[in-house]
Structure 1
Amino acid sequence: MVSGRPDSAFRRLLRYGFADPAAAARLLDEPELATLRTDTLFLDALGATADPDLALIGLVRLVEALDTEAQTLLDTVRTAKPLRDRLLGVLGASAALADHLATHPHDWKALVTYESTDLHPGVEEFEEALSDVVSPDTLRVAYRRAILSIAARDVCGTSDVAETAAELADLATATLRAALRLAEAEAPEDAALCRLAVIAMGKCGGHELNYVSDVDVVYVAEPAGGGPADREAREARGADGTNATNGAKGAGGGDAEGEALRAATRLAAHMMRICSDSTPEGTIWPVDANLRPEGRNGPLVRTLSSHVAYYQRWAKTWEFQALLKARPVAGDLALGAEYVEAVAPMVWQAADRENFVTDTQQMRRRVVASIPAAQLDRELKLGPGGLRDVEFAVQLLQLVHGRGDPTLRSSTTLDALDALAAGGYVGRQDAASLDSAYRFLRTMEHRIQLYQMRRTHLMPSSDADQRRLGRSLGYRSEPVAELHKAWRRHAAAVRRLHEKLFYRPLLDAVAQLDVGEARLSPKAAVQRLEALGYADPGAALRHLEALASGVSRKAAIQRTLLPVLLGWFADSADPDAGLLGFRKVSDALGKTPWYLRLLRDEGAAAENLARVLSAGRYAPDLLLRAPEAVAILGDEHGLRPRSRTALVQETLSAVGRAGDAEQAVVAARGVRRRELFRTAAADLIGAYGTEGAAPQDPAASLDRVGDALTDLNSATLSGALRAAVGAQWGDELPARFTVIGLGRFGGHEMGYGSDADVLFVHEPRDGIDEQEAGKAAFAVATEMRRLLQLPTADPPLVIDADLRPEGKSGALVRSLSSYAAYYRRWSLVWESQALLRAQYVAGDEDLGARFLALVDPLRYPVGGPDDDAVREIRRLKARMESERLPRGADPTTHMKLGRGGLTDVEWTVQLLQLRHGAEVAGLRTTRTRAALAAALAAGLLGQEDARVLDEAWVLASRLRNAVTLVRGVRGRPADTFPSESRELAGVGRYLGYGPGHVGEMLDDSRRVTRRARLVVERLFYGAA
């Protein structure tokens, strides 16, 4: 090879992945490697390693260290593929293990064996490998030799990451046992005085240890020869662990117990030093006992009763989370088993503690907040999207749901995740994503630590280290770029799923349940349901059994959901209706895979559904006709009202796909049904508000409901118009045709039970005879009404055209010129008043605008109405009060026609609009509340009068909506308070009155309307 110019050998080494082919060529030229220099299999094996340069250097160092025995190694490397791959794989991944082999060259023979018993050794095999140790240093050497074999299986893919972590935990177990034997051998008198059990915690306890990690332990001890009977006797004498928070007494106790604890403490401390001390042979790992009661301030060793007393009285939430992984590993295993058996019930009761879920979530936030900013983007373990996110999410789910489901009580993260998925607590796809991400992140962590055998969880910063890491994970073409791409993808998945699972609203509700309720006898269950307020607990129990019986995954998820839902239903005015509705929806969607997953996983979907189903009949009736609309409740933006433009486009598209006019109106109704549910659900849940207004602001919510219903009904009319035109005329009607909304429709104030007050206006197209155009327009209007009156179980959209000129006896449709002639010659004052609410809603928008321009002088007359017109308005109002109020109705509580009701407020505001609309631009609005605000701003009424009128109008409008929501689509008229107690309670809940406050609601209503009536009598009926 010519210096400075790559030759074929140089290029060949580059292709094998060498970063420094010149140095590699020099090493391959060494006489010792003469037999391997041109060996393609050997070079292929080097090229397959994480770092071919590192592997080759390590091999040369090993050969030099072996000296006369080097040829045996080289011959074996050349002829035995298993050894070749394992040895070079380790040397290419770990400089630290290459150092070990250079120091202890004969340990390469530990990689020769390739038999079934060698593939996945357990504690017994590792104990056998450590059986000859006679000193701490020989233990360290034997430990590294065992690590060498584990690493070989890891980097060659013989063991996956979970098996590698389990092997490391088993090796740690064998090492702790060997270290304890050495400590006991040096102090046999201490060993004779006590029974000492070593309990592994953390990753060691969970069989998921890293290559380099603190090994977390807890120590428990008893006097030698002391069994349960002796312990009970000591407790009876007072040594029952009440000294759990006193370090001196906790470590001392009585004479025999105190001696035993002091002896056990010396043995434990000695064992820790053997593992933790650094010598020329290195360090095994630190043994960390800070998870013990009181942490580093507490005694190192305690009796079992002292441990139990501490956990019963003083332990914090995180300590029970730590105990989830407790496992006896060394010393007196029988005593260790007693310890685990004693603390396990407390672990699975931890979720019952007040604020358990919140405390656990806050602890995770504190961990993230403590990470130095410079390291946050490099953290594989503690940072967002890291290993801790997976572990905390899994552990929290285990502790909450594992109280009643023993299958979840695994100390190993991936096993627990599998169990959570199998039990339906986590979606299969979510579990698979977490499993894949966790394995990827743990493999990254292992390979980073393996390089120098150092405890770290940070992505290395140098390109060379990242290249080695990427190649160790199988990325070859662009190792660094591919590594970062995969890391970002997995970290994003972990973060998303952690947020979804760890902060799942359902968790806190489940944690607050008494798990014993799920196992009540039928009689006790009926009593419990009755206590919750279910009027028919027997029927409720049958619903529960139908939903949750069996061993299917669906039933398992239902068993998780139902205890929480029962409580939410019970918090409503009609728990029975809520549960019945839930069963019906579940029956309809039971085979749909996303339904229960949505309720379990997505935000507040389950609570939203419970509130909607138990708040009355209207929304559940809609949902049962379109159960797939339940997905709206789990969508972050699902409860936001859609724009009129979007609604019209969707409705017209649905109509356009239909085969005929009747199918078209069915399609339009389908859109309307879903959007009515969206509006009602958002209203019931309290999701409506306006910019700058609190979501629960009743007036803001009412305005949004009015807008949403008006826009939706406008879209429905647009669809019916398209269907009516298309059935006979195709794309173009001989006449331009527009629909003008009046009343609450024109005012954007529609309620759930409102009719659509309209006027139909047409104009002949160019070249079309006016009579022909009029016939076509009449046919379209008639067909629209027919289509919208077809029988349906949906809330009807009733078209009311009685406010047209001449009322019911007048023409259903008029041309724009006919309206102009009529209003010029015959218009009455009540028609001018009705036109105050005129607004374009569907059809030809330009024609609609010209109609509104035509009527503006009538509704906003210059100088206002004369005295005769004002007297006529007052006469009509008085006549309405005396004639239209239903017989027997209480005028103090009738929300539309009663004293201080809707018409009182609206006629008062409309009189102000007629009088001053020409001069005050703000009054030229179709919306009652906006006109009222404009009148206040213009000084036409005082602030208190405006507040009183607004309050009364909002109350009456909300009451009408509430009654419809409670009674349902086919309910009775909605202008008075219901007489049936549950319906009245439901209305009260909607209006913000809790259980037992119905009387207060009625009193408040009468007070509000009484005050409004006084203002109306002064402003409307007073002097002109």
Structure 2
Amino acid sequence: MIPMTINDSRLSVLHQHSAYASRWLAAQPQWAEDLIGGINTPINSLVIEKLLEPASQVLSQEPINLEVLGAQLRVSRQKLMLLLALRDLSGFADVFEVTEAMSYFAEKAIAIGISALHKDMYPLVGQPQSKDGQFLPLIVVGMGKLGGKELNVSSDIDLVFLYEEDGDTQGGVKSISHHEWYARLGKKLIALLSELKSEGFVFRVDMRLRPNGDSGPLVCSLGMLEEYFSVQGREWERYAWIKGRMIYPTELDLAHATSLKGLQDLVRPFVYRRYLDFGVIAAIRELHAQIQQEAEKRSIAHPERAADIKLGRGGIREIEFMAQMFQLVRGGQDPGLRIKPTLEVLKAVHERNYISESDLVQLTDAYLYLRKLEHRLQYWEDAQTHHLPGDDASQGRIALSMGHQNLDEFRKVLSSHRANVANLFENAFVLKQQGVEAESSDEASTIWSPSTDYVELSERWAAWVGSARQRSLSDTARRRFIQLMAQSSEHVRIQGWALEQADRVMVRMMNLLDSISRRASYLALLVEYPNILGRLIDLMAASKWGADYLIKHPHLLDDLLNGFGQYSPEDHPNVYWTKLRSQINVLLDDAAQHGDQAELAMDILRQTHHTETFLTLLAELGIGRDKPLPIEKVSDRLSALADLILGITLERVWPIVANKYGLNPNTPPAFAVIAYGKLGGKELGYASDLDIVFLYDAPDSDQGASERYAMFARRLIAWLTASTSAGVLFEIDTRLRPNGAAGLLVTSIDAFKRYQLREGDNSAWLWEHQALTRARFCAGDVMIGQKFEEIRSEVLAQPRDEQLLKQEILSMRKKVSDGHPNDSGMFDIKHDSGGMVDIEFIVQYLVLRFSAEHRKLVGNWGNIALLGYAAEEKLIPEGLAQSVANAYRLYREYQHRIRLDGADKTRIHPDLMDSSLQDARMAVTTLWQKVLLTQ
């Protein structure tokens, strides 16, 4: 073997860039051989455990020698530092290897230290035990970079010490309280890790993130932590606990899984709100300003520390704050954002389209560059520093260690990264001139009142000013309310709308602000992101239904800000709905682990439905899009969404029923949902009921199937229709099942077939066959769905007597007309002669009359397509078919527009009927006459 010396060329990089390493190699030249031998090996858990082997061996000694243990831990730490510095500075280790290695070493050192101290303390004071005799270990939570597995090479470790329950120790010469035992252990552990000896130290320990900081007890019980969070927990502590991670016992120690779950159940609701928490943005901005002020004070006192790459402008902390901002605002509703490492958070944020790919790349590149630079600053003297040295010679050395050709290149690249971060941070927190402008805006807004030209708004405003509701608001909320009303008024004025419309829009806006005024985060959202106010005004002007929907579900305000970057389902339907299904299931799986599973799950389904419905509305109105979404696409999207929600609900409810009946919950039920009406024809509107029928398949020997599946159907309906804190999901109508409201809630597929094919005394009416023309399988067992489609085709393709069919169709049409009388003198687009119902009855007649010879008509293609197919088969004139198809499309658009404006009935005054509507009604009347009244 070739002997190695501290002057080995392969170690020159250490001597050049680390005075700390040079001193250690001079003092311990025998370490050089191990360093060179390990330069090409990634530093993973096995390498670290080998470094800690001498310390681990001390644990087996009797009695245990804590002095020797401490010395071994300190030596292991210096060896790791030198090895990391060598691999990093030589270009063999990336930032992830360095930070993960330091984090793992810290966890293992803490575990070894606790084991040794426990063993040392046991003979005298025993150990804490639960009531059933199980040992209760000290719970150590790693905070900050240790919690995120991002520890830098010369970092303090931020720890919090916790324990499960109070009591007295068992097994020793004397008994002490649990609290005293844990406190003793904690103090000894801190001393073991941080004591500075000839071998250096293991880690500096910072305990200031514990409840009440330096003034609080060193250890606290989980009960005390819960009380602290609910009573005294401060905003900045929420940021700190984002990174909190139980590092001892380890997450893999199943014997203490209850400790981990207990801790998680306490921390989660403190850190993450169940609603979108935009109020946190101002708090983060304030904290950032305080940090910058402190950094500036230090810079004045110590000019050599001015260039702080962690706390300065465009530094590491700003990247971390951006990640934490998204987590705190949205993590309550999205478990996928409740992760620790900064870059993983930013990647998840990008995947949800909250930041662009270019922003992600800039932030990632800057973070890795700054962390790499941070390590080079700390390798020099093993000091926890983040300041660039002030002299050119030192900066030139650092530039070389970063791989740059010269100092100018280094400064240029560093400046570019910091500028990118600073700009993205300022945009994320709306910092540019925000402070001055916001204050002046607030001052002006306190004296705002509506123009007297706004009659309805003035009345509304007069009732609000001085009301109990206004007085109940905080000063901040009241100021924001008035500020937003003033800004809205200015936006409406710029639009140049007629006075009546402007008045109407402002009243809708005030109603919205009034409804959200007690939830500070929603007012904060509008103040923090004034650019969405224009979109909001556009929505208020375009749709009364949309305004009312937003008032009912104010969390949808977020979608005005971030709802436009998602996949467009009309372009990529399979990708979109598959991705959405996956996201919903992640949320539901997370909900299943906490709290009231059923209520949380129902809320998740409702919130998802609200969001997707609102995005569809925005798309239809053209808000945030290049062009509005056509009505056919709107209905397709709403129908696909309903199918998805029905399918997921079925999957989530079945295990509840299966467990009740002692069945395997993982075996899917032989049960299907059949869609009728608008859902069946994929013409669903925003507030449409769901017409559905439940079918099941079971052998005759399964006597309990009917009862079991009836229970399942009732549970499904309850999940879909129950009013929870998130509202109602759907109104369900099951009257189209065999025998209507008098029939069984669920029907076997065999009985359904006999009923529809009229095999027996109990048989379907013609109107039920009419309804079947727009029916389809939409959720559940695919095999039952296939059987249903076969039955449907067989029923529709039966030969029928033409005259008898016409008589029954005409009779049914009269009943519909009698049920919707219209003496208003206005044209009812849906129910009047020449309207939508006439078109639907024409199509149903064509399907029932001619499907036997023209099988293409059997398909559930929709009314417009079926009219085209009937024309292709020469059953109706092609030109007239096209005119009626256009009429149906026009009627749907008018109906949709009227409903969006908040009207209950879709009626139009004759004076407002343009030639297109008149021509449409004439075409429908002509085809009706030709098809159903001609002999």
In which range does the TM-score fall when normalised by the shorter chain?
Answer: 0.3 to 0.5
Tell me the TM-score normalised to structure 1 length.
Answer: 0.44
